[in-house]
Amino acid sequence: MERTGGDEMNKKAKVLSDWYLELAKNDNGFETLAGRQGLKIAGLLCFGPNLNSNLREYYVNQPKPVKKIIDLSCVVDSDIDCEFDNTNTFDKNSGIGNLTDVDLNSEFAYLHNNNWWYVNCRIRQDKWMYWGGGDCPLPEGFIVVLEFNDKTTLKVDNYTSLNWSRSKNNCIRAFKVIGVAENARYEWQKEEDNE
Protein backbone atom coordinates (compact mmCIF):
# COMPACT_ATOMS: atom_id res chain seq x y z
CA MET A 1 0.00 0.00 0.00
CA GLU A 2 1.43 3.38 -1.03
CA ARG A 3 1.56 6.09 1.60
CA THR A 4 0.40 9.55 0.50
CA GLY A 5 0.76 12.99 2.02
CA GLY A 6 4.36 12.55 3.18
CA ASP A 7 5.70 15.52 1.24
CA GLU A 8 2.90 17.76 2.51
CA MET A 9 3.55 16.69 6.11
CA ASN A 10 7.30 17.32 5.68
CA LYS A 11 6.57 20.84 4.40
CA LYS A 12 4.25 21.51 7.31
CA ALA A 13 6.80 20.14 9.81
CA LYS A 14 9.45 22.47 8.31
CA VAL A 15 7.10 25.46 8.68
CA LEU A 16 6.42 24.48 12.31
CA SER A 17 10.11 24.09 13.02
CA ASP A 18 10.85 27.49 11.46
CA TRP A 19 8.00 29.04 13.44
CA TYR A 20 9.36 27.83 16.76
CA LEU A 21 12.91 28.91 15.82
CA GLU A 22 11.67 32.40 14.91
CA LEU A 23 9.70 32.58 18.14
CA ALA A 24 12.76 31.58 20.17
CA LYS A 25 14.83 34.29 18.43
CA ASN A 26 12.25 37.00 19.12
CA ASP A 27 11.53 35.88 22.68
CA ASN A 28 8.53 38.22 22.83
CA GLY A 29 6.36 36.42 20.44
CA PHE A 30 3.32 34.58 21.45
CA GLU A 31 1.26 37.37 22.98
CA THR A 32 1.36 39.22 19.64
CA LEU A 33 0.63 36.26 17.39
CA ALA A 34 -2.90 36.04 16.03
CA GLY A 35 -4.24 37.57 19.25
CA ARG A 36 -3.61 34.37 21.18
CA GLN A 37 -2.18 33.99 24.66
CA GLY A 38 0.50 31.43 25.37
CA LEU A 39 2.63 30.24 28.23
CA LYS A 40 6.38 29.81 28.06
CA ILE A 41 7.66 26.75 29.88
CA ALA A 42 11.41 26.17 29.81
CA GLY A 43 11.65 28.37 26.72
CA LEU A 44 8.93 26.43 24.92
CA LEU A 45 5.39 27.49 24.27
CA CYS A 46 2.24 25.73 25.30
CA PHE A 47 -0.76 26.05 22.97
CA GLY A 48 1.47 26.81 19.95
CA PRO A 49 0.83 25.33 16.52
CA ASN A 50 1.04 21.65 15.72
CA LEU A 51 0.70 19.54 12.57
CA ASN A 52 -3.10 19.96 12.63
CA SER A 53 -3.06 23.75 13.05
CA ASN A 54 -3.93 26.35 10.45
CA LEU A 55 -0.40 27.69 10.16
CA ARG A 56 -1.45 31.01 8.60
CA GLU A 57 -2.61 32.07 12.06
CA TYR A 58 0.87 31.57 13.48
CA TYR A 59 3.32 33.27 11.14
CA VAL A 60 5.67 35.51 13.09
CA ASN A 61 7.01 37.52 10.15
CA GLN A 62 4.89 36.99 7.09
CA PRO A 63 6.75 37.95 3.94
CA LYS A 64 5.33 40.93 2.09
CA PRO A 65 4.31 40.19 -1.48
CA VAL A 66 6.61 41.73 -4.05
CA LYS A 67 4.85 44.44 -6.06
CA LYS A 68 4.66 44.06 -9.83
CA ILE A 69 6.55 46.73 -11.76
CA ILE A 70 4.34 48.70 -14.17
CA ASP A 71 5.84 48.49 -17.66
CA LEU A 72 5.36 51.88 -19.34
CA SER A 73 6.99 50.78 -22.59
CA CYS A 74 3.55 49.91 -24.02
CA VAL A 75 2.50 53.59 -23.92
CA VAL A 76 5.55 54.84 -25.85
CA ASP A 77 4.37 56.88 -28.85
CA SER A 78 0.72 56.39 -27.90
CA ASP A 79 -1.86 59.12 -27.33
CA ILE A 80 -1.90 58.50 -23.59
CA ASP A 81 -0.93 61.57 -21.58
CA CYS A 82 1.90 61.09 -19.13
CA GLU A 83 3.34 63.29 -16.39
CA PHE A 84 7.10 63.75 -16.11
CA ASP A 85 9.01 64.84 -13.04
CA ASN A 86 12.49 64.80 -11.50
CA THR A 87 11.50 65.26 -7.85
CA ASN A 88 8.67 62.76 -7.21
CA THR A 89 6.19 65.56 -6.50
CA PHE A 90 4.25 65.63 -9.80
CA ASP A 91 3.03 69.16 -9.15
CA LYS A 92 1.97 71.99 -11.50
CA ASN A 93 5.55 72.24 -12.81
CA SER A 94 5.57 68.63 -14.05
CA GLY A 95 5.83 68.08 -17.77
CA ILE A 96 2.74 66.68 -19.47
CA GLY A 97 2.75 64.98 -22.85
CA ASN A 98 3.64 61.80 -24.66
CA LEU A 99 6.23 59.28 -23.55
CA THR A 100 8.51 58.80 -26.55
CA ASP A 101 11.24 56.54 -25.16
CA VAL A 102 12.23 54.56 -22.06
CA ASP A 103 15.82 53.78 -21.04
CA LEU A 104 15.82 52.09 -17.63
CA ASN A 105 19.64 51.88 -17.69
CA SER A 106 19.84 55.64 -17.25
CA GLU A 107 18.99 57.85 -14.26
CA PHE A 108 16.91 59.99 -16.62
CA ALA A 109 14.91 57.10 -18.02
CA TYR A 110 11.82 58.69 -19.58
CA LEU A 111 11.82 60.86 -22.72
CA HIS A 112 9.07 63.51 -22.94
CA ASN A 113 7.95 64.52 -26.48
CA ASN A 114 11.45 63.74 -27.88
CA ASN A 115 12.82 66.77 -26.01
CA TRP A 116 13.70 66.18 -22.35
CA TRP A 117 14.67 63.15 -20.30
CA TYR A 118 13.12 62.78 -16.83
CA VAL A 119 13.74 60.61 -13.77
CA ASN A 120 10.06 59.80 -13.19
CA CYS A 121 7.08 59.24 -15.43
CA ARG A 122 3.53 58.14 -14.72
CA ILE A 123 0.26 57.93 -16.61
CA ARG A 124 -1.59 61.21 -16.11
CA GLN A 125 -4.04 60.72 -13.27
CA ASP A 126 -7.64 61.86 -12.86
CA LYS A 127 -7.96 62.94 -16.49
CA TRP A 128 -10.44 61.36 -18.86
CA MET A 129 -8.80 59.94 -21.98
CA TYR A 130 -11.15 59.07 -24.82
CA TRP A 131 -10.73 55.74 -26.49
CA GLY A 132 -11.30 54.90 -30.15
CA GLY A 133 -11.06 51.13 -29.75
CA GLY A 134 -8.45 48.42 -30.13
CA ASP A 135 -6.39 46.52 -27.61
CA CYS A 136 -6.24 47.69 -24.01
CA PRO A 137 -3.93 50.73 -24.07
CA LEU A 138 -2.73 50.42 -20.47
CA PRO A 139 -0.26 48.10 -18.79
CA GLU A 140 -1.43 46.16 -15.74
CA GLY A 141 -1.13 47.76 -12.33
CA PHE A 142 -3.57 50.65 -12.16
CA ILE A 143 -6.93 51.46 -10.64
CA VAL A 144 -9.00 52.75 -13.53
CA VAL A 145 -12.46 54.24 -14.02
CA LEU A 146 -14.03 53.21 -17.31
CA GLU A 147 -16.85 55.07 -19.04
CA PHE A 148 -19.13 53.18 -21.41
CA ASN A 149 -21.24 54.42 -24.35
CA ASP A 150 -24.31 54.63 -22.15
CA LYS A 151 -22.36 57.00 -19.81
CA THR A 152 -22.17 54.46 -16.98
CA THR A 153 -18.84 54.20 -15.19
CA LEU A 154 -17.02 51.35 -13.49
CA LYS A 155 -13.98 51.43 -11.19
CA VAL A 156 -11.72 48.41 -11.80
CA ASP A 157 -8.19 47.13 -11.35
CA ASN A 158 -8.56 44.10 -13.65
CA TYR A 159 -9.22 45.99 -16.87
CA THR A 160 -6.73 44.33 -19.25
CA SER A 161 -8.97 41.32 -19.90
CA LEU A 162 -12.00 43.46 -20.84
CA ASN A 163 -13.12 43.99 -24.42
CA TRP A 164 -11.66 47.36 -25.45
CA SER A 165 -12.73 47.17 -29.11
CA ARG A 166 -15.45 49.47 -30.42
CA SER A 167 -18.78 47.93 -31.30
CA LYS A 168 -22.45 48.82 -31.51
CA ASN A 169 -22.95 47.29 -28.09
CA ASN A 170 -22.06 49.05 -24.90
CA CYS A 171 -18.28 49.47 -25.07
CA ILE A 172 -15.55 51.46 -23.36
CA ARG A 173 -15.44 55.01 -24.70
CA ALA A 174 -13.13 56.65 -22.13
CA PHE A 175 -10.94 55.83 -19.15
CA LYS A 176 -9.02 57.60 -16.42
CA VAL A 177 -6.27 56.29 -14.19
CA ILE A 178 -7.00 57.17 -10.58
CA GLY A 179 -4.12 55.40 -8.88
CA VAL A 180 -1.70 52.51 -8.70
CA ALA A 181 -3.09 49.13 -7.61
CA GLU A 182 -2.05 47.81 -4.22
CA ASN A 183 0.05 45.03 -5.76
CA ALA A 184 1.93 47.26 -8.25
CA ARG A 185 4.38 50.15 -8.44
CA TYR A 186 6.21 52.23 -11.01
CA GLU A 187 9.83 51.33 -11.75
CA TRP A 188 11.06 54.49 -10.00
CA GLN A 189 8.91 54.02 -6.86
CA LYS A 190 10.24 52.42 -3.73
CA GLU A 191 8.42 49.27 -2.63
CA GLU A 192 6.51 51.11 0.14
CA ASP A 193 5.69 54.37 -1.77
CA ASN A 194 2.02 53.71 -2.59
CA GLU A 195 1.04 51.77 0.52
Residue 177: which H helix or E strand, with range? strand 172-180
Partner residues linked to 142 by β-bridges: 180
Residue 31 sits in the same domain as residue 95: no
Residue 34 sits in the same domain as residue 77: no
pTM reported for the whole predicted model: 0.65
Res 35: pLDDT: 44
Q: Cα–Cα–Cα angle for 67, 68, 69, nearest 5°? A: 115
pLDDT of residue 34 exceeding 70: no
Q: Is residue 125 part of a domain?
A: yes
Dihedral angle, C-alpha 15, 16, 17, 21, nearest 10 °: 100
Q: Is residue 141 part of a domain?
A: yes
Residue 80 sits in the same domain as residue 168: yes
Q: Is residue 182 part of a domain?
A: yes
Residue 182 sits in the same domain as residue 113: yes
Partner residues linked to 39 by β-bridges: 46
pLDDT of residue 156 exceeding 80: yes
Residue 19 sits in the same domain as residue 103: no
Task: Specify the number of domains making up the chain.
Answer: 2
Res 120: pLDDT: 95
Q: Is residue 172 part of a domain?
A: yes
Res 81: pLDDT: 93
Res 49: pLDDT: 60
Q: How far apart are CA 119 and CA 53, in angstroms?
A: 49
Residue 134 sits in the same domain as residue 53: no
Q: What is the 3-state secondary structure (H, E, C) of 47-85?
A: CCCCCCCCHHHHCCCCCCCCCEEECHHHHCCCCCCEEEE
Kindly state the average pLDDT of the residues 186-193. 81
Kindly state the average pLDDT of the residues 153-172. 85
Residue 52 sits in the same domain as residue 29: yes
Res 79: pLDDT: 87
Give the structural domain span for 84: 68-186
pLDDT in tens, 50-93: 666 665 655 555 567 789 999 999 999 998 999 999 988 888 88
